[in-house]
Chains A and B, each alone.
Chain A
Amino acid sequence: MKPSRDNLARLLLPLFTGILLLGLWYAFKHLLGLHDLILPAPHDVARAFFEESETLRRASGITLAGAAIGFLGAITVGFAISLAMASLRFLRYSLYPYVLFMQMVPILATAAIVVILFGVGLQSVALIAFLIGFFPVVASTLQGLLSVPEGQREMFRLYKASPLQELFLLRVPNSLPAFFTGAKIAATLAVIGSVTGEIFAGSSRGAGGLGFHIMIFKSELKVAAIYAATVICCLLGFGFVSIVLLFRHLALRHWHESTLPDEE
């Protein structure tokens, strides 16, 4: 029937695209005669996974730790700050422009500044991952907390709901879709932030993450290994986003349109 054919197309078409891209990769390399140090072949990248497996596994764990600490910090602190800003107008008016402004700070500049302040190591990497995710979480959660339909607010007023009841029974649930949008952005950025942080601040006593090792691989001319590390970064990012989407599905499946099938 139609839905199952659609599912098949969703599975096969990306597979075809992948094969096509690999073909183009080989063609590009051979037609232009590019050296392995400029553009390694896909099978060299695959081999690098095995040759560097020990290093990559250890580095992935470290990157994951930095990203996870930063991400969890961004969503918990971000949510708490959003609650405070939604409840207290003076706080909202005072801080909101800076929340918007801080989203514009380039991640490389953040990384450089954090390393100067806090030195090299996991604390700096996690802080960079935190900072890159925190502001999007606050911006979108606050939006959700403040955009309650007028009719529902009036209904709460009619039943003499206290400000705390209005916050936790109306505004917080209403903000969840927006919160998850922010959390998804933070999840995407957490790994990027962590890797960027590691490039600046990655090595503490030889235990570096993927970003750190990308720099090492570069200096050792292990180009295929750089590609392998990059693929792992993408997979980690996917993993983070998938976890957020899973939680979003669990939280919103009964009521929110965006959890209807389609969006992955």
Chain B
Amino acid sequence: MPEGPAIAIENLGKRFGDGPLVLDGISFSAASGEIVALVGPSGCGKSTLLRLVAGLLKPTSGHISEAGEAIQPAFIFQDPTLLPWATVEANIALPQRLKGSPHARRLRNARLWARRLGLGDALGYHPRQLSGGMRMRVSIARALSLQPSLILFDEPFGALDAITRNRLNEEILALHQESRWTAFFVTHSVTEAVFLSHRLVILGTGPGRVSAILENPLPFPRNLHTRESLAFQQQVADATTRLQDVLPPR
């Protein structure tokens, strides 16, 4: 499998209608197969930035190489956005169904991804019957089912408990080891950002600007022991300090 694309974001700006600038002069890049974490306070335009990369919104100014249209990125939303009337299997198969792939093939593919995300026994369940963590697994399986080369995570684990969140973080990295997609990962949690990413982009508010870019040299593969290491703690502390700088004064 080829690695994900390298993405360069250059001088990106966005305003909605006549409103104020939401994002201003955003520039950073992701190398092929890198996970870039986007961290910042509420209202810094993180979600807007992801939607620009996805092609769901058009930038007011600036440029994204390999913009949404060309590569068809996968998007993992804050809310799992599952169809409540469809089974786990049908939810995972949805993107392929929308593409018009044949019934048997898309179900086979959906079952494959369900098993990869530990949902093999839940194929016939409806979202209402699943826990929050399971729903998010379905959402991830659905996103991966098209084998995307670019994945955009919009704070997907914010609503989950810490243990579920940590486990999903580890599984995300395991899946990344296999397929090497490029990813942007928006999160409020510095720990999560440090654990997952090759690089952290810290955004400030009013309008959203890049405040700092931190390289994250922690080696892969990362696991439970990574979290306990001194290097990890230091990286978290460093990123937290940088984040303090962009928070509005009390």
Specify which chain B residues have a CB less than 8 angstroms from the CB of A73 in the assembled complex: none
Q: How many residues of B contact A (CB 8 A)?
A: 21
Taking A155-B77, A160-B72, A255-B85 as given, write out 6 further A-B residue pairs in contact, using a Cβ cutoff of 8 Å, ordered by the A residue number: A152-B81, A158-B73, A159-B99, A165-B98, A169-B94, A173-B83
User: Would you list which residues of chain B between 45 and 60 have a CB under 8 Å from chain A?
Assistant: 54, 56
The answer to whether B128 touches A255 (Cβ under 8 A) is: yes
Decide if A39 is an interface residue (CB 8 Å cutoff): no
Partner of A157, one of B56, B72, B99, B127: B56
The answer to whether A160 touches B98 (Cβ under 8 A) is: yes
Q: How many residues of A contact B (CB 8 A)?
A: 21
Specify which chain A residues have a CB less than 8 angstroms from the CB of B75 in the assembled complex: 154-155, 158
The answer to whether B56 touches A255 (Cβ under 8 A) is: no
Known: A155-B77, A255-B84, A256-B84. A161 touches B128 (CB 8 A): no
In the docked arrangement, what's the CA distance between A159 and B81, Å?
A: 13
Proximity bits, B94-113, A CB within 8 Å = 1, else 0: 11011100000000000000
Known: A157-B56, A159-B94, A159-B95. A149 touches B81 (CB 8 A): yes
In the docked arrangement, what's the CA distance between A157 and B56, Å?
A: 8
Proximity bits, A123-160, B CB within 8 Å = 1, else 0: 00000000000000000000000000101101111111
User: Would you list which residues of chain A between 167 and 188 have a CB under 8 Å from chain B?
Assistant: 169-170, 173, 176
B109 to chain A minimum Cβ distance, whole angstroms, is 14
Using a CB–CB cutoff of 8 Å, the interface residues on chain B facing chain A are 54, 56, 72-73, 75, 77-79, 81, 83-86, 94-95, 97-99, 126-128
Specify which chain B residues have a CB less than 8 angstroms from the CB of A257 in the assembled complex: 128
The answer to whether B81 touches A169 (Cβ under 8 A) is: no
B121 to chain A minimum Cβ distance, whole angstroms, is 17
Known: A158-B75, A161-B98, A254-B126. A151 touches B83 (CB 8 A): no
Known: A157-B56, A173-B85. A151 touches B98 (CB 8 A): no
The answer to whether A151 touches B77 (Cβ under 8 A) is: yes
